[in-house]
Amino acid sequence: MRIRVGAALAILLVLFFFSLCLANSKDNGGQGLGGDVIAIDAMLPYGERERPPVLFPHDRHAAYSGETGCLSCHDERSGDGSGISFAFKGRKGLSGNEIRDLYHTECIRCHAEGVATKQPTGPQICGGCHVRDKAVPTSSSYAIDFDDSLHFTHTEKATLDCRACHDLLNGDDSEKSGDSMSPGLSSDNVSHDLCITCHLVDRNHKKPSGPLSCKACHALPAQSLADLNPSKDVARGGEVLFDHDLHEMADISCDVCHHKEPDTRCSECHTDGDSSQGGGISLYAAMHTRNADRSCIGCHDEMGAGDVDDCTGCHAPFRTGNP
Amino acid sequence: MQQGKLCNRIPVETKDKLKEILGDKGGIQYYKEMESLEVDVPALKDLLKRTLKSRLKTWLNSCMRCGLCADSCFLYIANDKDPKQVPSYKIQSTLGELVRRKGEVDTQFMMHCMDVAWAQCTCCNRCTMYCPMGIDTGVMFSYLRGILFSQGFVPWEMKIGSGMHRVYRAQMDITTEDWVDTCEWMEEETEEEWPGLKIPVDKENADIIYTVNAREAKHYPEDLADAAILFHLAGENWTVPSEGWEETSLAMFAGDWEAAKLQVKSVYSAIERLKPKRMVVTECGHAYRATVTEGPYWAGIKSGKPPVDSLHYVEWVAEALRTGKLKIDPAKRIKEPVTFQDSCNYIRNAGLADDARYIMSQIAEDFREMKPNREHNYCCGGGGGLNGIGRYRQERNIGLKVKRDQILETGAKLVISPCHNCWDALRDLEEVYKIGIRWSFLKPILIKMVVVPDHLKLSAE
Amino acid sequence: MYQFITGPLLWLSFSIFFIGCFVHVALYIRGLDFQLDRIAYNTNIVSGVKAALRSIGLWLVPFGTRCWRQNPVYTLIFYLFHVGAVVTPLFLSAHSVILKYRWGIYMPAMPDVVADVLTAGVLVAACGLLLRRMLVPEVRNLTTPRDIGVLFLSVAPFATAFMAYHQIGDVTFWTIAHILSGELFLVAVPFTKLSHIVLFFCSRIQIGMDFGIKRGGVKSSGFPW
């Protein structure tokens, strides 16, 4: 009897292995590789990770989000009632293993539900999400090709005012509401906040809107991060054709603008970034701050009649189409 | 089912039957008959069903076959590490196989089992100490011997031995009269040297009831005299029973549990009859095991203890030396290197190693331990009845090599051996290998060196 | 597949494992017989319990017994195998996550690095045990195909886990194979000598009591295993 039980067990074991080999001989699809991959490395600040970070294919998830849409995974943004918080829902205020447990609970639950309801679903096993040694470029290595025609689409078709985007993009944070930003994340989220919220609000109002999927914007081929720093010096329109003579003739003293040395250019101290150079005032702020005597707009406001609200007074019109 | 005239499933119960089987010198006809002794499979199945319980089943099934028991077996070492001598293999290929076949085995298999059970295991239980799973192969072989006995597959001498117990309540043909006569004779023999020495038979309410090995009564009566002298010197109030004086049990070696029960009950009823305070048993290992360690269970005593507190002879000697009942004359202590043979049955299986060491520290100046020693000591080579079975003389002699080497390593020429089986094995060891050793029980050694109290000295002195 | 084998099949495996182990222990205790075993389990309880604990304790401690000390290499292999085999599955972070998610049971977990080393230890030790079985004559002679089979059965979950964790080859395959082989192991426990998971303790307690109650435990300071 015992010998038979043993033999049966041995045969079963072998059968299991062979059937598994066959069942899994096809490529299991792998992860969605491309511009939509987000590395979930929430555990990074808490010491060495046990497993590789999850490479999360956002578009594949968004495609199956069903009726609840973004709200399946994201909280509605508090305040204006439109748009979403970009952090994974329930994530805020958690730390350490709480974050890990939240992701485990929610991801595993959803993937399991998919099986239960016979819907297409994600991996069930640990290694399905925690993929080891796979150098997958994440979405941030896929640049956005915001070319002239796309700019045109935003300014002309969507009739967006310059400041709708540029104030925020250039660091005027007066409009940033606290909960739109994910905690501790880079300023990349400013553009996510800006673009996606706008696209989303339009879509919710049944207006023609921009795309919501990652890949639709992050469309340029993946590059190394070093190559990715978009050159801000390449002007494709919108330059300010500053007439120095005109300002001299207006009897403005040199040191109103050149407040350091007569030969020092604005951008030598006021840089693009958030550095403390130039008194922490960015180049954008140096030009646009309303309540400063030295800034262009501050001065124009004072001298002119009322607030300056037309960018094109200074900035050249954006070129449309090909030059 | 075919049975032989001598070799059969029926135990020897009468003097005539005993005489008949004893007449078959060396068991030549007996073993011939065994070759055609059929196995009573239904009875065997029934026996297994009734007695093969969880402990034995677990031992058989949970053997991990790791082989750690190999080096623990002196027969494995003596046989040049023959894989067939590994305890686990020995029991698995016999009892294990028998259980796996659910008792459906043939004569040839049973004879093989017999040869393994009596010639390849002395039930010394040493392997038990080396098994991570706590498997006691010695106990399993004892059980197998019981099965084999019930089917008649038992060595000739064992059949006779169990018959002796059934007929005489002793391992030899000694009647109550013979025994009482011997006691009286020994009393007379010592009269001259030890005036006032008595060997009190059937004295009630004594402090000590002394029980012996029938060999002492039949072949070495001076041992009884020695015991009497030492009790006399120690001033003990002691007695021997006229019946129930035999504490050995060849029935235990034979696997005849029924006879073993009859035998030990005879001793216990002597205790109940004479109401002594304690029992002291002679210098015999298996006797102590049979009467003190295992006996209560055969007799069905729930506490697992004999009716009165029972001491092996070394316990009594150690106690007498500690309390000063016996005093050693320091000048007469053994000067030459001397070693001690730890008996499996009362050292490993009864925990008396310290008492033995204490005695040696008192009587010897150059005591040398064997390696290994105490509970880890090897069997003398002749335990479990192996000494007495002619069919396995060759196997026994090979097994003696381990003890030979152990003794040679100590450099001692004198071996103290308070166990009849070990004593016999040492005698045969010297006969076979001629290494120039002497061997002795404790009693003759003690008598030579104890201080005689003034009031017991001969007045002539 | 995954949901089934970690759902109903896992329940089934655990049920068979736990019920099987329980039945083994229950039958063991029920089958004890003071007269057949020749041990008065109910007398000298203090001495019996003390000896039983000693009997288990000394054998669980590496080099705690004379037998372990006499076979240092085997002892190392043995403990490498058993410590890894017992500790790793119980305190693995991935198992802890599943336990917490499925049943809300909190199990402390050890770092994956430790688990990884222990797993590798089990694999190395298993190779050692296998080699020993094949090369040492007295062990080879004792070995039956079942012994090899049981060894493979108990190592399979570790080998597959190792492959899955390090994602050598197809992760899904190895993970599924890991779960199935683990369940096969659980199911096999009551029906093979793997039942020594519980019977080891039964047997050691029993023989400890044997020596403690009957064979000299009362008369000596404790049996020198």
**Touching check for C38 and chain B: CB below 8 Å?**
yes
Shared domain check, B374 and B316: no
Q: How many domains, chain B?
A: 3
To the nearest whole angstrom, how far is the Cα of C104 from the nearest Cα of chain A?
A: 11
* Residue C73 touches partner B, C-beta closer than 8 Å: no
Query: Looking at residue A176, what is its pLDDT?
Result: 39
Distance (Å, whole) CA A266 – CA A19: 71
Q: Determine the pLDDT at residue A323.
A: 37
pLDDT-derived band at C6 (thresholds 50, 70, 90) equals: confident
pLDDT value of position A2: 56
Note the pLDDT of residue A186: 43
Contact C31 B53 (CB under 8 A): yes
Beta bridge partners of B279: B209, B310
> Which A positions 59-118 lie with beta carbon below 8 A of chain C?
101, 104-105, 108, 112, 115-116
Same domain for B247 and B194: yes
What pLDDT score does A134 carry? Answer: 66
Q: Which region among A15-29, B92-106, B177-191 has the lowest average model confidence (pLDDT)?
A: A15-29
Q: What is the mean pLDDT of each run of 10 residues along chain A (323 residues)?
A: 62 67 50 71 77 85 81 78 77 83 88 85 87 72 75 79 72 41 46 80 80 80 58 57 81 81 81 68 78 80 70 69 41
CB contact under 8 A, A13 and C173: no
What integer best gives the mean pLDDT of chain B?
93
Residue of B nearest to C139 (CA): B67
Read off the amino acid at residue B387. N
Residue C184 C-alpha, separation from nearest chain A C-alpha, in angstroms: 8
Whether this model's ipTM surpasses 0.85 comes out as yes
In a shared domain, residues B179 and B307: yes
Residue of A10, A20, A108 lying closest to C101 (CB–CB):
A108
- Say if residue B296 is in the same domain as residue B335: no
pLDDT at B125 over 90: yes
Closest Cα in chain A to C179: A125
Q: How far, in Å, are A181, B180, B239, B420 from residue B183 at the CA level? A: 109, 5, 11, 20
Residues of A in contact with C112 (CB under 8 A): 50-51
Instruction: Report yes or no on B171 lying in a domain.
Output: yes
Q: What is the pLDDT of residue A179?
A: 34
Q: Same structural domain for residues B288 and B398?
A: no
Q: Which residues of B413-427 are buried (b: 16+ CB within 10 A; e: fewer)?
A: bbbbbbbbbbbbbbb
**Residues B283 and B419: beta-carbon distance below 8 Å:** yes
Interchain pair A50, C153: CB under 8 A: no
Q: In angstroms, what separates the C-alpha of B239 from chain C's closest C-alpha? A: 25
B333 in a structural domain: yes
- Residue range C114-162, pLDDT digits in tens: 999 999 999 999 999 999 999 999 999 999 999 999 999 999 999 999 9
**Cα distance between residue A111 and residue A106, in whole Å:** 9
| Chain C CB within 8 Å of residue A6 CB | yes
Chain A touching partners, 3 or more CB pairs below 8 A = C
Which chain B residues are within 8 Å of C55, Cβ to Cβ? 134
Handedness of CA A85, A86, A89, A94 (dihedral sign): negative
Q: What is the CATH number of the domain that holds B368?
A: 3.40.50
User: B225 with B313, same domain?
Assistant: yes
Inspect the interface and report whether the beta carbons of A126 and C172 lie closer than 8 Å.
no
Q: What burial class does residue A157 get, using C-beta atoms within 10 Å of its C-beta: 0-12 exposed, 13-18 middle, 19+ buried? A: exposed
Chain C closest CA to B132's CA: distance in Å?
A: 7
Residues C61-90 have pLDDT tens digits of 999 999 999 999 999 999 999 999 999 999
CB contact under 8 Å between C43 and B302, yes or no, is: yes
Instruction: Tell whether B262 is covered by a domain.
Output: yes
Domain residues for the domain of B139 are 39-154
In chain A, residues with a C-beta closer than 8 Å to the C-beta of C93 are 50
pTM as predicted: 0.84
Residues in C closer than 8 angstroms to A125, CB to CB, are: 2, 164, 171-172, 175-176
C159 has a chain A CB within 8 A of its CB: no
* pLDDT given for residue A149 in this prediction: 78
Asked whether residue B183 is assigned to any structural domain, the reply reads yes
- Do B83 and B99 lie in one domain? The reply is yes
- Measured between beta carbons, which residues in chain C are less than 8 angstroms from residue B72? 67
| B-C Cβ pairs (cutoff 8 Å, strict) | 155
Give the model confidence (pLDDT) of B361-399 as tens digits.
999 999 999 999 999 999 999 999 999 999 999 999 999
How far C164 CA lies from chain A's nearest CA (Å)?
Answer: 7
Chain B (260-319) residues lying within 8 Å, Cβ to Cβ, of chain C = 293-294, 296-298, 300, 302-305, 315
Give pLDDT, residue A305: 54
Min Cα distance C171 → chain B (Å) is: 34
Q: Which residues of B touch C213 (CB under 8 A)?
A: 304
| Record: contact A50-C111, CB cut-off 8 A | yes
In our burial notation (b when 16+ CB lie closer than 10 A, e otherwise), range B84-97 reads: ebbbbbbbbbbbbe
Distance between B290 CA and the closest CA of chain C, angstroms: 12
Same domain, B144 and B261: no
Q: Among B104, B132, B154, identify where a domain stops.
A: B154
Q: Do residues B261 and B339 both lie within one domain?
A: no
Percentage of chain B lying above the pLDDT 70 cut: 99
pLDDT at A181: 32
Of A4-18, B48-62, B261-275, B316-330, least confident by mean pLDDT is A4-18
Out of B88, B131, B375, the one facing C142 most closely (by C-beta) is B88
Residue for token pair 């104030």: A167
User: Cβ contact (<8 Å) for B352 and C67?
Assistant: no
Give all domains of chain A, ordered by start, each with its CATH number. 29-140 (3.90.10.10), 143-225 (3.90.10), 244-313 (3.90.10.10)
Q: What pLDDT was estimated at residue B203?
A: 93
H, E, C per residue of chain B: CCCCCCCCCCCCCCHHHHHHHHHCHHHHHHHHHHCCCCCCHHHHHHHHHHHCCHHHHHHHHCCCCCCCCHHHCHHHHHCCCCHHHCHHHHHHHHHHHHHHCCCCCCHHHHHHHHHHHHHCCCCCCCHHHHCCCCCCHHHHHHHHHHHHHHCCCCCHHHHHHHHHHHHHCCCCCCCHHHHHHHHHHHHHHHHCCCCCCCCCECCCCCCEEEEECHHHHHCCHHHHHHHHHHHHHHCCCEEECCCCCECCCHHHHHCCHHHHHHHHHHHHHHHHHHCCCEEEECCCHHHHHHHHHHHHHHCCCCCCCCCCEEEEHHHHHHHHHHHCCCCECHHHCEEEEEEECCCHHHHHCCCCHHHHHHHHHHHEEEEECCCCCHHHCCCCCCCCCHHHCHHHHHHHHHHHHHHHHHHHHHCCCEEECCCHHHHHHHHHHHHHHCCCCEEECHHHHHHHHECCCHHHCCCCC
Q: Is there a single domain that holds both residue B175 and residue B317? A: yes
In 10 A of CB A323, how many CB atoms? Answer: 7
B460 lies in a domain? Answer: no
CB contact under 8 A, A105 and C94: no
Q: Do C167 and A24 touch (CB under 8 A)?
A: no
Which residue bears the tokens 């060999």? Answer: B215
- Residue B455 located in a structural domain: no
Say whether both B209 and B225 belong to one domain: yes
Query: Which of B154, B176, B208 is the last residue in one of the domains?
Result: B154
Do B303 and C27 lie within an 8 Å CB cutoff? no
In a domain, B261, yes or no: yes
Q: Are residues B253 and B379 in the same domain?
A: no
Residue B254, domain member (yes or no): yes
Domain boundary among B306, B321, B336: B321
- Average pLDDT taken over every residue of chain C: 92
Biggest CA-to-CA distance, chain A: 110
